[in-house]
Amino acid sequence: MTDQAPASTTAAAAVKLSCRNLWKVYGPRPEYYFDTSGYAIDVPGLAERMRREAHVPAVIDVGFDVHVGETFVIMGLSGSGKSTVARCLSRLVDASHGEVMLDGEDLLAMSPRALIDVRRHKMGMVFQNFGLMPHLSVIENIVFPLKLQGIPLAERRQKAERVIELVGLEGREGAFPGQLSGGQQQRVGIARSLVVEPDVWFLDEPFSALDPLIRRQMQDEFLRIQRVLRKSIVFITHDFLEALRIADRMAIMRDGKVVQIGTPTELILNPADDYVARFTSEVPRIRLLQAAACAVPAQGDLSALPAVSADGMAEDLIAQLAKNPDGLAARDGSGAVLGKITPASLITALAALGSEADHDAS
């Protein structure tokens, strides 16, 4: 499944960024394969032919939409083509064929000058190796993209202060990257990418260089920041559990192709093939359960019970339920009570999810 339907029929959600029939081929003459205008491309045959002829089809006929305000994760093993797709979307590399649309504008047809403008003003990027300038302080690194935009000093300071607070780096403004831990360095990278207030935020394996505990903390931070900012995000990872934690929807890649697109729950319950099923088989089911699914209708006044967000994850409720065995009040974004969550309702919801998976597998 490659989600190649026209944007108008895919979902009610507005599309921020999309690609269709996207290819990136490395080799001496990649353009040779695509001057067949007017003819349908024989996808499986073409990729094979490219390989036989000493070309590398790194991205093969990929298509998907990234909706406004969603975190879209591209996940796959090393070499599957994730980074190359992200680079084609941001035009850090030029695609060999296909279409990339940002806010309805064709990125691949854009002039170099227009493209520089889009990159500076509409895109934010975070990379695994942080990419900080070692001779510049935290604040100097963060304001660097604003300097490139020619923004006056006072405004630079103001914008920088806002993102420094957002990522929790207050007090470290004068430090140099070499004096910071890996997690702190990546906070600087995140702040620097957000200071331009990008429309689309690309994060390529941002937490892969961090140890597991810090990595989990940074995922929490990322989720907190995204709850505040609601950016349209393309997030690359090879870690399936990380993808499950942060994705609204995800695309799984293998050998240059997208093999499945869906929400984490859709992928777990209905993996498209054995490759996807192998990732999903070891995932504890509780990782998929949202608080709302554990809430049951309750009579009377629940105001005495601690409130939890209905779109939080059920696994994060266990410690709270241990302290509050009478239950929790699940509230939606507007504060309205959706129902009560008790230890029993959590277990019932979990059991239902398990039996649904068994049913699908049989």
Ligand X SMILES: Nc1ncnc2c1ncn2[C@@H]1O[C@H](COP(=O)(O)OP(=O)(O)OP(=O)(O)O)[C@@H](O)[C@H]1O
Write out the binding residues for ligand X, residues 34-73 only, by CB under 6 A: 56, 58
Reading the block at residue 84, the tokens are 């190359």
Interaction between residue 238 and ligand X (CB under 6 A): yes
User: Alpha-carbon distance 148 to 113, whole Å?
Assistant: 14
Which is nearer to ligand X, 59 or 346 (by Cβ)? Answer: 59
Interaction between residue 206 and ligand X (CB under 6 A): no
Minimum separation from the CB atom of position 238 to ligand X (A): 5
Minimum separation from the CB atom of position 76 to ligand X (A): 5
CA distances from 203 to 21, 133, 290 (A): 22, 18, 25
| Type of residue at 297 | P
Write out the binding residues for ligand X, residues 74-93 only, by CB under 6 A: 76, 78-84
Which is nearer to ligand X, 238 or 287 (by Cβ)? Answer: 238
Minimum separation from the CB atom of position 111 to ligand X (A): 24
Which is nearer to ligand X, 23 or 201 (by Cβ)? Answer: 23
Interaction between residue 299 and ligand X (CB under 6 A): no
Which is nearer to ligand X, 127 or 289 (by Cβ)? Answer: 127
Minimum separation from the CB atom of position 267 to ligand X (A): 18
Closest by alpha carbon to 170, among 142, 209, 212, 130?
A: 142
Which residues are 260's β-sheet partners?
A: 252
Write out the binding residues for ligand X, residues 15-34 only, by CB under 6 A: 26
Q: What is residue 233's three-state secondary structure?
A: strand
Cβ burial, residue 287 (10 Å; 0-12/13-18/19+): middle
Minimum separation from the CB atom of position 26 to ligand X (A): 3
- Site size for ligand X, by CB under 6 A? 12
CB 280 within 8 Å of CB 271: yes
Closest by alpha carbon to 205, among 191, 220, 186?
A: 186
Place of tokens 């831990």: 181
User: Alpha-carbon distance 161 to 183, whole Å?
Assistant: 19
> Which CB contacts under 8 angstroms, 24+ apart, belong to 280-286?
280/240, 283/240, 283/241, 283/244, 284/315, 285/350, 285/353, 285/354, 285/357, 286/314, 286/315, 286/350
Minimum separation from the CB atom of position 56 to ligand X (A): 4
Which is nearer to ligand X, 160 or 242 (by Cβ)? Answer: 242
Minimum separation from the CB atom of position 204 to ligand X (A): 8
Which is nearer to ligand X, 129 or 355 (by Cβ)? Answer: 129
Which is nearer to ligand X, 58 or 289 (by Cβ)? Answer: 58
Minimum separation from the CB atom of position 32 to ligand X (A): 16
Which is nearer to ligand X, 2 or 184 (by Cβ)? Answer: 2
Please give the residue ranges that form the binding site for ligand X (CB under 6 A). Answer: 26, 56, 58, 76, 78-84, 238
